[in-house]
Amino acid sequence: MAAAAMSCAASLRLLPFKPNLFASSVQYPAKALILRPLKPSELPSFRRTIITFQKISTGNVRPPSASPPSSSEDFQPIEELPPELQEIVKLFQSVQEPRAKYRQLIFYGEHLKPLDPQFKTRENKVEGCVSQVWVRAFFDDQRNVVYEADSDSSITKGLAALLVQGLSGRPVPEILRVTPDFALLLGLQQSLSPSRNNGFLNMLKLMQKKALHLEVKGEEDSSSEESLESSFVPTPETNGGVSVVDKDTESKPSFVEDLGAEDSDGGSDVVALGSRGMRIREKLEKELNPVELEVEDVSYQHAGHAAVRGSAGDDGETHFNLRIVSDAFQGKSLVKRHRMIYDLLQEELKNGLHALSIVAKTPAEV
């Protein structure tokens, strides 16, 4: 029975939201529960039912206590949230004054553990934020999801911190169950409409998507560890055994490997530069005699868009961050300094260098 069931297509079951459902049917390692990776658009709509594809296998899956989705209330009750998140919601509810709420939010953000720059990748970036937000997820040794996040905007950083603090260290199903309704309870007037610009909703979605991916990868790993060997990349958080790394970061060929994370001793820049990056360095060093020079290849942040694909010719070296401290900028306005640099790098700009983000100072200004 089991074998036949396993080989046939997944069955679709509509499962009402009940806290004990997952508790009973998920045992780790959860061979019984396979979740197909959902694209963001397919993530469950935030109502009270979740659609899951369940492979019926040897595991003892108790039929769900099927009570009809009744409920008069429209929002997810606070008790269903992870405990930390409940605390956070209660804290915000106790703070009435809007300004104080913002202060609290920003306070959270300030105490967020900083995110290592090597994780500020395209796959970790939250779509639809006018500010930049990155979220990273990995398993701890109990297969709870650990999150790290960062943002260049204080408010978004605060929201990210809320989510990190509220969801980190929790198991995947609990995280997936969270709906953005709780944001209303915070009283921060964060709109919940799933529009492109809704950073908060998209942050939560990304965090849930990453949790799901970790779960799926975990399943694949435990059932086929050999095939994982080839794509195994040693990163700080893996420890032998079942390594569930956010696989996407290593799959882009045009990435410049950031080797700097492990040996960050001294030196103004530790990124391995490709040929263009080296040429840029040489040119700037020769012409500007800088006191400080940092050339950082950030092409990976733009690896997706059409203008970059196939046009650069130089292994996708298209976008750079430059930090130059030089006397040559003395007495020159910001725009003039930028112009100097653009003029020096004319050849590169003509041949596939796409954009430069420049910090240009004189030694006195540093």
Partner 1 sequence: MEGVAMKLPSFKSLAPNAISIGHRSFSRVRRSSSLSVYSAASSSATVATNSESVSLGHRVRKDFRILHQEVNGSKLVYLDSAATSQKPAVVLDALQNYYEFYNSNVHRGIHYLSAKATDEFELARKKVARFINASDSKEIVFTRNATEAINLVAYSWGLLNLKPGDEVILTVAEHHSCIVPWQLVSEKTGAVLKYVMLNEDEVPDIDKLREMISPKTKLVAVHHVSNVLASCLPIEEIVVCAHNVGAKVLVDACQSVPHMVVDVQKLNADFLVASSHKMCGPTGIGFLYGRSDLLQSMPPFLGGGDMISDVFLDHSTYAEPPSRFEAGTPAIGEAIALGAAIDYLSEIGMPKIHEYEVELGKYLYGKLSALPDVRIYGPRPSESVHRGALCSFNVEGLHPTDLATFLDQQHGVAIRSGHHCAQPLHRYLGVNASARASLYFYNTKEDVDSFVVALADTVSFFNSFK
**Residues that are catalytic:** 129
298 lines the binding site for partner 1 (CB under 8 A): no
Contact 210, 175 (CB under 8 A): no
Which amino acid belongs to residue 13? R
96 binds partner 1 (CB under 8 A): no
Considering beta carbons, is residue 22 or 329 the nearer one to partner 1? 329
Measured from the Cβ of residue 181, the count of other Cβ atoms closer than 10 Å reads 17
Q: Which helix (H) or strand (E) element contains residue 59?
A: none
Q: What is the DSSP letter of 60?
A: -
User: Hey, is 33 helix, strand or coil?
Assistant: coil
100 interacts with partner 1 by CB under 8 A: no
User: Is the Cβ of residue 26 or residue 358 nearer to partner 1 in the bound state?
Assistant: 358
* Closest approach of partner 1 to the CB of residue 188, in Å: 9
Which CB, 344 or 356, lies closer to partner 1?
Answer: 356
Tell me, rounded to whole angstroms, the distance of Cα 176 from its chain centroid: 16
From the list 61, 91, 155, 192, which residue makes contact with partner 1 (rule: CB under 8 A)? 155
191 is an interface residue for partner 1 by CB under 8 A: no
Residue 53 touching partner 1 (CB under 8 A):
no
Check binding of 339 to partner 1 (CB under 8 A): yes
CB of 51 to partner 1, least distance (A): 34
Under the binding rule (CB under 8 A), the answer on residue 351 touching partner 1 is: no
The two three-digit tokens of residue 350, written as one number = 């003509």
Q: Select the residue interacting with partner 1 from 307, 313, 347, 363 (CB under 8 A).
A: 307
Residue 247 binds partner 1 (CB under 8 A):
no
**Which of these segments, 80-88, 100-108, 250-258, 276-284, binds partner 1 (CB under 8 A)?**
100-108
Nearer of residues 64 and 128 to partner 1, judged by Cβ: 128
Please, which residue, 145 or 159, has the CB nearer to partner 1?
Answer: 159
Beta strands in the chain (DSSP E): 11-16, 49-54, 133-139, 145-151, 292-297, 319-325, 355-361
Question: What gap in Å lies between CA 341 and CA 345, rounded to an integer?
Answer: 6
Give 153's DSSP letter.
Answer: S
- Which of 26, 355, 361, 362: binder of partner 1 (CB under 8 A)? 355
* Residue 323 C-beta: closest distance to partner 1, Å: 11
| Cα 77 from Cα 319, distance rounded (Å) | 46
Q: Is 99 in the site for partner 1 (CB under 8 A)?
A: yes
* 29: preceding bond cis by omega (within 30 degrees): yes
Q: Should residue 153 be labelled a site residue for partner 1 when binding is judged by CB under 8 A?
A: yes
Segment contacting partner 1 by CB under 8 A, of 52-60, 148-156, 233-241, 285-293: 148-156
Write down the number of H helices and E strands in the chain: 12, 7
Residue 358 pairs in a beta bridge with 322
Backbone angles phi, psi at 11, to 5 degrees: -100, 150
Q: Could you give the C-alpha distances from 127 to 134, 244, 289, in angstroms and in order?
A: 9, 23, 39
For partner 1, which stretch binds (CB under 8 A), given 52-60, 128-136, 206-214, 238-246? Answer: 128-136
Q: Which of 14, 130, 233, 278 binds partner 1 (CB under 8 A)?
A: 130
- Contact call for residue 366 and partner 1 (CB under 8 A): no
Distance CA(194)–CA(175), nearest Å, equals 19
Structure tokens at 283: 């040119």
Q: Are 20 and 65 in contact (CB under 8 A)?
A: yes
**Residue 43 C-beta: closest distance to partner 1, Å:** 24
Where does this chain bind partner 1 (CB under 8 A)? 98-99, 102-103, 106-107, 110, 129-132, 152-156, 189, 307, 333-336, 338-339, 342, 355-359
